[in-house]
A = this chain, B = another copy of it.
Amino acid sequence: MESLHSNQNTGLMPYLVAISQILGIAVLAITGAWLSQYRGGFSWEGAQQFNVHPLCMVLGMVFLCGDALLVYRVFRNETKRATKILHGALHILALIISLVGIIAVFQFHSNSGIPHLYSLHSWLGIITFILYILQWIVGFLLFFVPGVAFTYRSRFKPVHEFFGLGLLLSAVATSLIGLTEKILFTLPNLYSKLPAEGILVNTLGLLLVAFGAVIAYILTREEWRRPPLPEEQALSMDFKTLTEGDSPTEP
């Protein structure tokens, strides 16, 4: 347990964080390049409105959400308050950008006479987004609103962490299904001949998986958790004593 209270034992973490950022930027660059080079670029009108959807979802629900989860590991020497605000700010950005992406695809479907929410991609995607909003509301009420009892916070924290990583991985899985849908809609007869666009989209899928895997690895290393700062530690020790039923004034 010693390592939890030491700032030094981060091992491979800085390298893995760097790799996650390279993967995340590669994912965004390839998504942008694919949609602008092969799919006609971006617009809020006409057929190109669809292209706003994958770009916004990958940026919001994958890249920004992934980075929001890393905040407590990366900024381990900042105050809890500062890291919490950064975590919230990244999630506000992620929420707004992915909402734009969802509006884009709903408007595109309506304008093109395509039914809404018929595919596995759309079912998993909308469930992931609704759970993300619920996670936002519950997380905000419990961790941002002042005066919520420590007991509730510490009891809910493991569930909040599980859903955070779970929703990121669900967003990655939804993206993979979406990529497959899009390539089969646009190149139904050509995909099996492995054209350049097919290779690009498959590579994008694998990079998305790699991004999710590296973030999951970093977050599930218990020894890489942000250790409490000295002033927080005193508080959490008192709290531990209190919740375990002993009087904190006892020797």
Q: Residues of A at under 8 Å CB distance from B?
A: 1, 114-115, 118-121, 123-124, 127, 158, 162, 166, 169-170, 172-173, 176-177, 179-181, 183-185, 188, 191-194, 198, 201-202, 205-206, 209, 213, 216-217, 220-222
Contacts and interface: CB of A to CB of B under 8 A. Distances in A.
Contact of A118 (B191, B216, B220): B191
B184 A120 contact: no
Contacts of A1: 1
Q: A-side binding surface: helix, strand, loop or mixed?
A: helix
A183 B169 CA distance: 23
Q: Which 7 A-B pairs have the closest CB atoms?
A: A120-B205, A173-B173, A120-B202, A118-B194, A184-B184, A118-B192, A177-B180
A176 B173 contact: yes
Contacts of A173: 172-173, 176, 209
Given A115-B192, A192-B115, A120 B180 contact: yes
A181 to B, nearest CB: 6
A192 B119 CA distance: 7
Nearest to A1: B1
Contacts of A220: 162, 220
Interface centre among A172, A217, A221 (most CB of B within 10 A): A217
A202 B221 CA distance: 34
A119 to B, nearest CB: 7
Given A118-B192, A120-B206, A172-B173, 12 more contacts: A1-B1, A119-B191, A120-B183, A120-B201, A158-B221, A162-B217, A162-B220, A169-B169, A173-B173, A176-B177, A181-B184, A184-B185
Contacts of A121: 180
A115 B193 contact: yes
B216 A180 contact: no
B206 A176 contact: no
